[in-house]
Amino acid sequence: MYSHFTQARLIRGIHPVQLVCSSRQFASLATLEKNYLPGQQINGFTVTKTKTIPELEMVAVHLKHDYSGAEHLHVAKDDDNNVFSIAFKTNPPDATGVPHILEHTTLCGSERYNVRDPFFKMLNRSLANFMNAMTASDYTFYPFATTNKVDFGNLRNVYLDATLHPLLKNLDFAQEGWRIEHADPRDETSPFEFKGVVYNEMKGQMSDTSYLFYIRFQESIYPSLNNSGGDPSNITDLTYSQLQEFHAKNYHPSNAKVFTYGNFPLEDHLTELDHEFSRFEPKKPDLEVKYPISLSDTIRVVEEGPIDPLSDPSRQHKTSMTWFMGPTTDVYETFCLRVLTSLLTDGHSSPLYQALIESDIGTEFSPNTGLDTSSPVNIFSVGVQGVATNNLQLVEQTIRTTLQQTFDDGLDLNRVEAILHQTELSRKHKVANFGMNLLYGLTSGWFNKVDPMDMLEWNNIISRFREDLKKPRFLENYIECFLLQDKPVFCFTMSPSASYGESLVLNEQERLAKKLSEYSAQEKDELTSVGLELLKKQEEKEDLSCLPTLHIQDIPRELKRVELDHTTISALPDAKIPVQWRITPTNGLTYFRSLISLKDLPKDLHIYLPLFAECLTNMGTHSQSMADLEDEIKLKTGGISTGVQVRSDPNDIDAWNLSLGISGYSLDKDVSDLLRLIRILLVETNFENTEKLRPLLRQMASGAADQIASNGHAYARNAAASTLTASGSLSESLSGIEQVQFIARLDGYDDASLLLISAKLRQISEFVLSTSGMQIAVICGENAVRENELLLTRFATELATLKEITAGNLVGSATANQFNFTSNTGKTSKTWYTMPFQVSYSGACVRGVPYTNKDGSSLQVLANMLSHKYLHSEIREKGGAYGGGASYNGASGIFGYYSYRDPNPENTLRTIDRAGEWAIQNSWTTRDLEEAKLSIFQGIDAPQSVESEGMIPFLNGISDDMRQTRREQLLSVGLDDIRGVAEKYLTGGLRSYQVAVLGEAPEWANETNGWTVVNSSVEGSMEDAKREILSDSM
């Protein structure tokens, strides 16, 4: 639930800021600015700076708390999705993960809210659309977002009390941080082992090789900032008193930065904060900004990492080069560097992509590639993964010559223009989480002494940049200044080691043995009793009445409907294509989306569809390279994307639909180009371009194990559901483990065999352009409708004339029997996919009902209640997994249990097995129901971005009327309904779970116990696959 995140993943992209919709009754910008003049005192705070940002229709006010010195930044904007965040500077003193463990334990109970885990309990007493706590490399922050004013006040109080007055009990430290405990706490003869939520979370994190590369790189270049998340081998050094001291030192108002955003009044926020902060004596904060190593000479570091068993064993190195590029406090220069580094590394036409990836030296960029602006120094890295041992030298050489070459030849100004166009579009693109994006974009700089007011600039930065661009070789000069031959560079490489995993296990065993040898017999007895005490505490029933809450009445009865119009356009006399229109203010943008039905596509081609969709935006055409096409796409549109979509019919879970989706958006004036480019991708893509196909396959296959690990519970659930419905089976082959393994196999083909893949892709293309039905959705402003209609007709006619595309017939669904699917009901099946993870992931699924069936609502509420009242405590608190729960997917009709980063799958499966019976026996209260409903409606009523409006009916075939009915059903679900569906679907004769677990297989997962064990590494299956494809293409 609480995520520890790494900076680098958030800082990509040129600008984090985007625009949101307006509503009524909000003071004008001019009034707001006048209300908050510098020097003015408001409720215990003094305004230090105020800035109006007219292009984003907002006013930013920076204040300081007079007594404690706490900083506050308020961004007033007419947006009802209000955001709150309190953040503290937390420089990690060592690699024990103390900032991360503190982040967890503050949320275990506080003075005013003295209950176990009030933060988690607030999840279902609120209508917040975002709640989390996150540890970054040198600060920790606690943000939430909600549109409800009472909710905002409730959550703010809980967040302030949790951070400033946590109980930080010793037992919380043992539960969240680390402890030594019997494998089964009730059985004194079972062996001792390390446990703890953060301990296991970080073990899981470290088995993600991308994360491992990133964090080892970070530790080497930035030793002054220790690993804030915690390295499992150091976590067990942390003591309880160190945790308390760290809190006392850092979680103090004088060390805090508070951020508020939205249309709730600033004065209200300040009153509450003043009340809280005035209870603290002022003190001198530790705001020390840490710096990376100094780089006067080139430095080389090589570390060992694990082998990815799903990728080519001969290409497992990751290597990168890093330069420092001046201070981040210069916001303008940082912007210029973002543009420059994006030109160097982003997209098919960028020189480093062509030199490193397209040339096949590496499979994809290394996880640290790009400009990191989250520290006081701009850090630029370029690297690749999937490198063969004998190519390591070549990587460095290639990067150097490419930079020199780019400097000599000069940059293409058209590409600069394309980047500015992208930035401009992203500003106009209305998103629902604008406030959260703003917070993410500002916080790290704010802690590194960058003035947040400078970071909010927009127009000034762009116009200054355009001026500077007129100077000769303006951007090229930065290359010379920071990146050419003579500049010192930091080279970081991670090499595969077959014994890496083993050495971790050995290290853990030794660490445990050493600790235990230091304990007296009495201390060991204490370990046993602490384990039992923890268990007892976890089982205690609690009185939660001290926690604030919203109520069922706070959930609106009526769905916010999205008004849609439907027309058809005539492509040819007999071809009518249905178009769904959403007409709404869009800041002058048009959003286009089309679905092309693939439900009659031959079954053997299904598994190629994800590759086919990728090819459309990666291969180029016979007359135009992908590099040129992509530049044009960036210059004229906000991007074009493709994907494959499976859905169940809302009236019948055995009926399904499969389609190819293509979407994109542009300024209204560029829609003609948007449609022309989409047509080119659809009609002219050159699937025989093996020079592009090879790197694409490599890229898709690379990091397969990481890809699965980071979302293991979803893969497990997907695999489990694949035997229950036809759409489940399709999902597995298109996006599950089956797909990952398939791509890994294709990646092993030699050049001649690549043409066999091309042939399959061309078959799909021919199918798409000849026999399939199409439907279109458009979102645009009123004044763009007429022109768009004309352009759509031209687009459809061209497609139809060219390739005989026929009428849009997406309404009917295919049935399960269309590809001989039989649902595996009536008997439980259990599959274990062996994968080299230190922790496992499990999924167990049961068939539910179609969307329109009333039982679906009850199952959805039941899943939520089981998660909060039973599975969380059994799987996470007692079992030590990072996460565990149940969910019901209303659209696909599948009830699924899961566990995430789970050290104890046996316990999880036992827990799941008992869940249905538990749900029937448990004495539920109406309050339990209310909580479940609140948490379900957080998702249903979360604010939507403009581009998503009307997409539920368009993509899922679920109309607003169906949604309104379901809404009423959900609100009226009673306790009898809950017991009824638990009995009907989760227990008794009808129960037939499909179970899938990913991870190292334990001894008990064997045939005798009913398990099918699948070896999931790629070796061995490669030859079979080739035979398979050879035989069926002849």
Active-site residues, by number, are: 103, 176
Cβ proximity to Zn ion: between 141 and 152 the closer is 141
* Surface-to-core class of residue 673, CB atoms within 10 Å of its CB (0-12 exposed, 13-18 middle, 19+ buried): middle
Encoded one letter per residue, x for contact with Zn ion by CB under 5 A and - for no contact, window 514-553 reads ----------------------------------------
Which residue, 4 or 247, is less far from Zn ion as judged by CB?
4
Alpha-carbon distance of 664 to 640, in angstroms, equals: 4
Q: What distance in Å separates the CA atoms of residue 103 and residue 702, rounded to the nearest whole number?
A: 33
- Output 636 or 876, the one with its CB closest to Zn ion: 876
Q: Is 620 left (phi over 0), alpha (psi -120 to 50) or beta?
A: left
Interacting residues with Zn ion between 183 and 212 (CB under 5 A):
201
Burial 712-727 (b: 16+ CB within 10 A, else e): bbbbbbbbbbbbbbbb
Q: What is the DSSP letter of 110?
A: B
* Per CB under 5 A, 967 contacts Zn ion: no
Q: How far is the CB of 370 from Zn ion (least distance, A)?
A: 24
Residue 4 binding Zn ion, by CB under 5 A: yes
Task: Tell me how far apart the alpha carbons of residues 935 and 924 are, in angstroms, rounded to a whole number.
Answer: 17
In angstroms, give the least distance from the CB of 132 to Zn ion.
Answer: 10
Residue nearest Zn ion by beta-carbon distance? 4
The interface with Zn ion within residues 383-412 (CB under 5 A) comprises: none
Shortest distance, CB of residue 366 to Zn ion, whole angstroms?
Answer: 25
Integer Cα distance of 740 and 523 in angstroms: 48
The minimum distance between CB 732 and Zn ion, in angstroms, equals: 30
SS3 state of residue 32: helix
Instruction: Pick between residue 4 and residue 933 the one whose CB is nearest to Zn ion.
Output: 4
Q: Which is nearer to Zn ion, 56 or 198 (CB)?
A: 198
Which residue number, 202 or 579, has a Cβ lying nearer to Zn ion? 202
Phi and psi at 573, nearest 5°, equal: -50, -40
Q: What are the φ and ψ backbone dihedral angles of 178, each rounded to 5 degrees?
A: -150, 160
Backbone angles phi, psi at 205, to 5 degrees: -55, -45
Residues within window 796-835 making contact with Zn ion, judged by CB under 5 A: none
Beta bridge partners of 142: 86
Q: What b/e sequence results for 410-431 when a residue is b if at least 16 CB atoms lie within 10 Å of its CB, and e otherwise?
A: ebeeebbebbbbbbebbbebbb
Residue 901 near Zn ion by CB under 5 A: no
41: left (phi over 0), alpha (psi -120 to 50) or beta: beta
Question: Cβ 262 to Zn ion, closest distance in Å?
Answer: 27
CB of 133 to Zn ion, least distance (A): 8
Give the nearest distance from C-beta 8 to Zn ion in angstroms: 18
Any residues with CB less than 8 A from the CB of 577 and at least 6 apart, and which? 568, 569, 570, 571, 774, 775, 776, 796, 807, 808
E strand or H helix at 304:
strand 299-305
Residues in the chain: 1034
809 to each of 577, 581, 658, 812, 957, how far by Cα in Å? Answer: 8, 18, 12, 7, 13
# binding residues, Zn ion (CB under 5 A): 3
**Looking at 1-9, 187-195, 488-496, 643-651, which segment touches Zn ion (CB under 5 A)?**
1-9
**Which among 10, 18, 12 has a CA at the least distance from the CA of 458?**
18
Q: Which is nearer to Zn ion, 2 or 335 (CB)?
A: 2
Identity (one letter) of the amino acid at 943?
P
Whose Cβ is closer to Zn ion: residue 229's or residue 728's?
Answer: 229
Minimum distance of Zn ion from residue 4's CB (angstroms): 4
Q: Which of residues 205-244 bind Zn ion (CB under 5 A)?
A: none
H or E stretch covering 373: none
Cβ nearer to Zn ion, comparing 200 with 580: 200
We find the least distance from the C-beta atom of residue 135 to Zn ion, in angstroms, to be: 7
Minimum distance of Zn ion from residue 104's CB (angstroms) = 6
Segments in 60-208 forming alpha helices (H)? 98-106, 118-122, 149-164, 170-172, 197-206
CB closer to Zn ion out of 2 and 277 = 2
Distance, in Å, from the CA atom of 899 to the CA atom of 878, rounded to the nearest integer, reads 13
Q: What is the dihedral angle through the alpha carbons of 784, 789, 790, 791, rounded to the nearest 10 degrees? A: 80
Residues within the interface to Zn ion (CB under 5 A): 2, 4, 201
